[in-house]
Structure 1
Amino acid sequence: MRTETAKTNLVLVTGPSGAGRSTAINVLEDLGFETIDNLPLRLIPRLLEGPAERPLALGFDVRNRDFSTNGFLALIEELGTRPDAGLSVLYLDCRAEVLLRRFSETRRRHPLAPAESPEAGVARELNLLAAIRDRADTLIDTSDLNVHELRAEIERGFAADRLDRLAVSVQSFSYKRGLPPSIDMVFDCRFLANPYWQPHLRGLDGRDPAVADYVAGDPRFAGFFDRVLDLTRLLLPAYAEEGKAHLSIAFGCTGGQHRSVAVSERLAKALAEDGQQVSIRHRELLGRAIADESRV
């Protein structure tokens, strides 16, 4: 029987087929985890009876011999009560249309629809995993990420020196494209003065000092930002105490280019100066960069 000092950092990795689970497992192995893919669920408690020499990452998907939604949720509940397992559930998410494109590009058959169209398999799998997705401690949407960006996201959250720290993700987005998935806190920046209407700023984005200064010059900016920062500082310790592994904060504006980017950059910098583990992502700027690369 293990003692408290023999605690294993255990990460359960799952998500729909094609979302990047195998890549995540490989990254965790590179980070020093012992990794095992598609081990039957019933064997997991027995596995933890062995020596805890390294953190452990276990991959699961619908191809597991005894996989079921209820069985996986029951496993999470069981492991969550064990003093010898510091449990975290990592879910690799992806939009249905992107999963379909990936299956089309690789010409693979979907494991839940081997004799049908991939659309049927994707729909079944997303429905099957919905409750598990809701239970995840860390959710990474890979829809707009390449392999290198996914690696960076996992390294930020699961590097050995960060396993016991809350990871904070700050994002900017455009309301025209809708809310990003799996966001914990959302703030609307559309009330701030819009640099788009300034010809000399229109072609720039919120990372440029001129744009950032223009946004910060709005008389309402300081009160808004200070309250958001104070609220975030208040909530972070509470989330950490509850065992949450990841907190995502998003700022939106009309185009996702100026105001939301400037505020996201400023908040990420302030939290990093506080010593928080912070990553930042600008959804619309990333989309433009990918589009520009495809035209080269």
Structure 2
Amino acid sequence: MSNGDALTPVKPPENELLILTGMSGAGRTTAAHALEDMGWYVVEGLPPELITTMMDIIARHPGSVEKLAVVLDVRSRGLFTNIQDALAQVKASGINYRMLFLDASDELLVRRFEQGRRPHPLQGSGRILDGIIAERDLLKDIKGGAEVVLDTSSLNVHGLANSMNDLFAADGPIQLRLNVMSFGFKYGVPADANFVADVRFIPNPHWVPELRPLTGQDAEVRDYVLENQGAGEFVDRYVDALLPVLEGYRRENKHYATLAVGCTGGKHRSVAISEELARRLDQQPNVTVNTVHRDLGRE
């Protein structure tokens, strides 16, 4: 092979590339191990500018690596200065990639570092929280460009591994996976929500004595919520508004989105509306819907 041939870029249409990044302490190691268990070839500490080079090498050896996951963190040389240029080069070379960003609440990240008795890589002589704040600021643009943002605050090791399996097992994510999540505003808005709907305009079943001990999964509460003025129209119009978005996600190769529906406590209205939205969206072609009621069961 001549030197000229060696410099010719090779497009690897059959190879998958996943960029795994996120906040320190949010579970990158667990996620990487889960990917390895699913047959991905995982590389940590690779400078971003070498991603295209590695994909070219893989393409020159068909069958050697079908699925490559590159793990980037604050210790990856050039992460903040070169990552955007490197990813633009990857895209320009014809390589399709996905990016998974792992996140968690500041409180949980502090607790994880304290339990592990390790300093945050950016805290220097300051507090763990100082390092987390600095890292969050540095990663904000990268997070904004991620296809999937997964909040691991409520996930243990097994839960995160299961989520990775749902997203990236077999031939990769299904064409479009929707996570419809009910929540209570008084417990905070989900950090990984792509869309947030506020259904507090519907009268609260909490103030109906016979409905108070029930939840939005009970028929009596569901009927009360959906039969209230404006509730059915809201669901109809919300689904209609989402359809062109879902189609756009397919065109942009985005496979995962979280739709969050909130009421005051996350027990009645948001649960009933989430269940109805999930039922309606699950009827769309090539869409799989998962329903999560984050705050159901809280006092």
Which residue matches 1:76? 87
After superposition, the C-alpha distances for 1:123-145 in whole angstroms (9 at most, x for unaligned) are 22112211111111110111222
The Cα of 1:156 is off from its aligned counterpart by: 2.5
Unaligned runs of 5+ in 2: 1-8
Which residue matches 2:203? 193
Distance 1:214 1:152 in 2: 35
Distance 1:213 1:52 in 2: 57
**Alignment check: 8 A CA contact 1:184 1:249 kept:** yes
After superposition, the C-alpha distances for 1:156-190 in whole angstroms (9 at most, x for unaligned) are 32223443623222111222233222422222111
1:151 to 1:208, Cα distance in 2 relative to 1, 3 A: farther
**Alignment check: 8 A CA contact 2:51 2:90 kept:** no
**Alignment check: 8 A CA contact 1:88 1:245 kept:** no
Which stretch shifts more, 86-95 or 162-171?
Answer: 162-171
Which stretch shifts more, 127-136 or 169-178?
Answer: 169-178
Distance 2:147 2:43 in 1: 20
1:91 to 1:52, Cα distance in 2 relative to 1, 3 A: farther
Residues 167-246 of structure 1 mapped to structure 2, 5 A cutoff: 167-246=177-256
After superposition, the C-alpha distances for 1:21-72 in whole angstroms (9 at most, x for unaligned) are 11111122222212112223233222101135321111111122x1331311
**Alignment check: 8 A CA contact 1:8 1:52 kept:** no
* 1:90 counterpart = 2:97: no
Which residue matches 1:294? none
Which residue matches 2:31? 24
- Given candidates 41, 44, 49, the residue that maps to 1:37 is 44
Query: Partner amino acid for 1:285?
Result: L
Moved over 6 A (4+): none
Which residue matches 2:3? none
**Alignment check: 8 A CA contact 1:272 1:278 kept:** yes
Which residue matches 2:293? 282
Distance 1:78 1:144 in 2: 36
**Alignment check: 8 A CA contact 1:61 1:67 kept:** no
Distance 2:203 2:22 in 1: 40
The Cα of 1:264 is off from its aligned counterpart by: 0.9
TM-score by length of 1: 0.88
After superposition, the C-alpha distances for 1:220-277 in whole angstroms (9 at most, x for unaligned) are 2221111112222232112211232322211111111111111112212222232412
SS at match of 1:88: strand
After superposition, the C-alpha distances for 1:88-129 in whole angstroms (9 at most, x for unaligned) are 010001121211111111111212235443122212211221
Which residue matches 2:136? 126
Unaligned runs of 5+ in 1: 292-296
Which stretch shifts more, 159-168 or 66-75?
Answer: 159-168
Which residue matches 2:22? 15
**Alignment check: 8 A CA contact 1:7 1:86 kept:** no
Identity of paired residues, percent? 38
Which residue matches 1:110? 120
Distance 2:220 2:158 in 1: 30
**Alignment check: 8 A CA contact 1:13 1:59 kept:** yes
1:209 to 1:146, Cα distance in 2 relative to 1, 3 A: farther
Larger radius of gyration, structure 1 or 2? 2
**Alignment check: 8 A CA contact 1:69 1:128 kept:** yes
Distance 1:148 1:132 in 2: 26
Query: Partner amino acid for 2:247?
Result: P
Which residue matches 1:62? 74
SS at match of 1:13: strand
Distance 2:290 2:230 in 1: 26
